[in-house]
Amino acid sequence: MRASCPQTLPPTVESASGAKRFTEQVLRLLLEVVDRRRSPGHLRAFVDARALAAINTMLTQDLVPGRNLGSATLSRVKLTPTDDGAAEVFASYQRGPRTLAIAGRVESTKDGWRLVAVRMF
């Protein structure tokens, strides 16, 4: 009898380090997109459709926090694993003299990690 693959995987030490690595990479890419150094299409492989729609809304309505202060640089990323193979994301980034924040959620799928929610402050 063949077992089916679950949609989410239980968190392990190995998957937690993979989640952290993925999250740091996708947040750096996100900052490049909101700085308009890359197109939003670059996020498609790593970000859920609803989160990508939220990012596109921020761009089209010019709602990116502190964008007039210069390029964004990721400072710190923290993850809090949840029981369902996901992690809550808390990050800070610099724009000029200001420190700003990103909150979100990454989930483990059969294909790897995906950013499924994001909010920039």
Q: Kindly tell me if the per-residue pLDDT of 10 is higher than 80.
A: no
- CATH code of the domain covering residue 53: 3.10.450.50
Note if the pTM is more than 0.85: no
Considering the domain boundaries, does residue 108 fall inside one? yes
Measured between alpha carbons, how far is 68 from 95 in angstroms, rounded to an integer? 9
Q: Which tens digits make up the pLDDT trace of 28-46?
A: 999 999 999 999 999 999 9
Does a structural domain hold residue 33? yes
Secondary-structure percent of the chain, ordered helix, strand, coil, rounded to 5: 35, 35, 30
Q: Is 4 contained in some domain?
A: no
Residue 69 belongs to a domain: yes
Do the domain assignments include residue 3?
Answer: no
Residue 1 lies in a domain: no
Residue 42, C-beta contacts closer than 8 angstroms, at least 6 positions apart: 29, 32, 33
pLDDT-derived band at 85, boundaries 50, 70, 90: confident
In this prediction, residue 15 carries a pLDDT of 58
Q: What is the distance between the alpha carbons of residues 87 and 85, in angstroms, rounded to a whole number?
A: 7
Examine residue 2 and state whether it is found in any structural domain, yes or no.
no
Question: What is the extent of the structural domain holding 40?
Answer: 13-120
Answer whether residue 5 is part of any domain: no
* Percentage of residues of the chain with pLDDT beyond 90: 74
Cα–Cα dist 75/84, whole Å: 27
Q: Count the domains in the chain.
A: 1
